[in-house]
Amino acid sequence: MNNILLVALREFRQITRMRSFWLTLLILPVAISIAPLTQRFMGESEADRVMIIDQDGGVAGREIAGRLRLEEDRRSLDALARYVQRHRIAAPATAPWARNDRYFTDAEVARFAAEGGATGALERLKPAIPADVPDFTPPEPRYELVTPPPALASLTGATLDQRLETLLRPASGSKADPLDAAIIIPAGFLRTGTAKFASSGRPNPQLVGTVQEVLTRSLRQGLLTQSGVPAPVATAVATVTPNLMIAQPAPGSGAREALLVRSILPLASCYLLMMALMLSGSWMLQGTIEERSNKLLETVLATISPEQLMYGKLLGTVAVGLTMIAVWIGCGVFAAFATQGAIADMIRPALAPLTSWTTILTMIYFFIAGYIAISVFFLAVGAISDSMNDAQGYLMPIILMILLPITILIQGVIAGGQGIGVTVMTWVPIWTPFAVLARLGTGIPAWEVFGSGLLLAAFVALQLLLLGRLYRASLLAQGQKPSLKELAARLRGRSPEAA
């Protein structure tokens, strides 16, 4: 046992001294730490700078500006309502943000804005917000309204176009902030029904929609008034909207959302197993081939048996893999509980299964058994290969055989995990660890966990027996690629070297 530990320790040290190990180890923490930045960069860009030039008395222009402010307030109100619901904060029942179950009416949004918007609401909420609840982050504004220079109000035609051009696309070297869009309401708009939307690039469809909606309302109201409809009625007709009740699950608790959140940890462990295996397996393979090509096997085998060498290598590789996974899980836990933001919000509920000891033990068992079961293939390839080129020839079909079905399996689990393919893969030992780990989130019967676990243990025992024979027979048999017949003889322990 002592020699096995010595070999394992040497193997562990050799791998953990490799640059590629550290690069791989740091990938996940770096990814987690830059995820919020990525979100920011990948998410919506800065607010659109919008200028409204109303040459028709200012009514339509004010309405567009008011609508844009209203939409911004609606987004704040919506975000606040979700925040209150997600963190189960006791909110005053009469406050609009106390419920997250409908499309907020203009009146509710207006009331929200009148009461100080998100800032005012948070002031009122403050005493009810528990200490461990992260601060509310209001959504970034989508629009910035830019006041037009007075001179623009009187410009028309080509002169106005020329001036707008400089505002939308300033000359290179100019320090002026370019506009993203300019909305021009020309004199006589209510009569002609023609307005202009100038954009510095591809028009923002949401902004176009809002402008279109407001101007349509103005035109409709104008027409109704001109047709003799009393002004209050005309306004009511033009602005009437349904009170749309929206039934939606609490954040993270929708059927599909809940399934995904519940499956994050099992699926992540399945992915981690796959990643750690492929990486540490290839490092172990390199080490085994190095021992063969550097002709140091004879020196090693004079002091320890092939089986001790084999078990030591397996142990060292499993230790490397578990170290990587421990570091990654540690980073995940840190990200979940020591940071705020979307990543933390996603990881925290995903860690919920770890409150069950049965789940933890099941995950650890299938993780380690899976690690050994697949590492054995790498070790076997190392034992019969003289170079990495040789090894690639054997390894490619093995990797494809293991990984391709797993990608299909993961899709199957995300889709609900009830398909016959997922069940079949649970009972094929080389896929069992992945299938059971992935299915833990969607629910897997206990008898399947026990049964497939036992089958996996028997498979690993058989693998180790066969690998021991192959290892003893192959380690010193250099120079020729073994034929299938020779491989079979070695696995049966009938090769002369294995005698």
Catalog residues that contact another protein under the rule CB under 8 A: 3, 6, 10, 14, 17, 290-291, 293-296, 298-305, 308, 476, 496-497, 499
Helix, strand, or coil (residue 245): strand
HSE-CB at 69 with a 13 A cutoff on CA atoms is 14
For residue 375, the minimal CB distance to another protein (Å) is: 20
CB of 376 to another protein, least distance (A): 22
In 10 A of CB 379, how many CB atoms? 24
From residue 425, give the alpha-carbon distance in Å to each of 244, 419, 452, 454.
Answer: 46, 10, 10, 15
List the structure tokens of 404. Answer: 């391709």
Q: Which is nearer to another protein, 145 or 297 (CB)?
A: 297
3-state DSSP assignment of residue 2 = helix
- Are 108 and 77 in contact by the 8 Å Cβ rule? The answer is yes
Indicate the residue type of 358: T
DSSP 129-149: S-TTSPPP-PPPPSEEEEPPP
Q: Is the Cβ of residue 65 or residue 489 nearer to another protein in the bound state?
A: 489
Which residues are registered as beta bridge partners of 143?
48
* CB 3, min distance to another protein, A: 6
| Residue with Cβ nearer another protein (6 or 322) | 6
Dist. CA 38–CA 319, nearest whole Å: 32
Tell me how far CA of residue 51 lies from CA of 56, 146, 148, 296, in angstroms. 15, 5, 6, 77
DSSP result, 365-423: HHHHHHHHHHHHHHHHHHHH-SSHHHHHHHHHHHHHHHHHHHHHHHHHHHTTS-SHHHH
Nearer to another protein, 438 or 470 (CB): 470
Closer residue to another protein, CB minimum distance, 80 or 489: 489
Compute the least distance from the CB of residue 426 to another protein, in Å: 40
Closer residue to another protein in complex, CB, 397/496 = 496
Q: How far is the CB of 32 from another protein (least distance, A)?
A: 30
d(CA 414, CA 381): 33
State the minimum distance, in angstroms, from the CB of residue 316 to another protein.
Answer: 13
Provide the minimum distance between the beta carbon of 297 and another protein in the complex, in angstroms, as a whole number: 8
- Comparison of 460 and 498: residue with beta carbon closer to another protein: 498
CB 472, CB 297: distance < 8 Å: no
| Residue whose tokens read 């995950």 | 363
In terms of CB distance, is 266 or 382 closer to another protein?
382
Please tell me the distance from the alpha carbon of residue 50 to that of residue 178, in angstroms, as a whole number: 10
Q: Nearest approach, Cβ of 275 to another protein (angstroms)?
A: 24
CB of 379: closest distance to another protein in angstroms? Answer: 17
Instruction: Give the single-character DSSP code of 352.
Output: G
Identify which of residues 312 and 429 has a Cβ nearer to another protein in the complex: 312
Shortest approach of another protein to residue 79 CB, angstroms?
A: 54
* Cα–Cα dist 21/123, whole Å: 50
Task: Name every residue whose Cβ is closer than 8 Å to that of residue 309 and which is 6 or more positions away in sequence.
Answer: 7, 300, 301, 471, 475
What sign does the dihedral 422-423-427-433 (CA atoms) show? positive
Identify which of residues 80 and 473 has a Cβ nearer to another protein in the complex.
473
How many alpha carbons fall within 13 Å on the CB side of residue 419?
14
Is 308 or 463 the residue whose CB approaches another protein more closely? 308
Nearest distance from C-beta of residue 308 to another protein, angstroms? 8
Amino acid symbol at 113: A
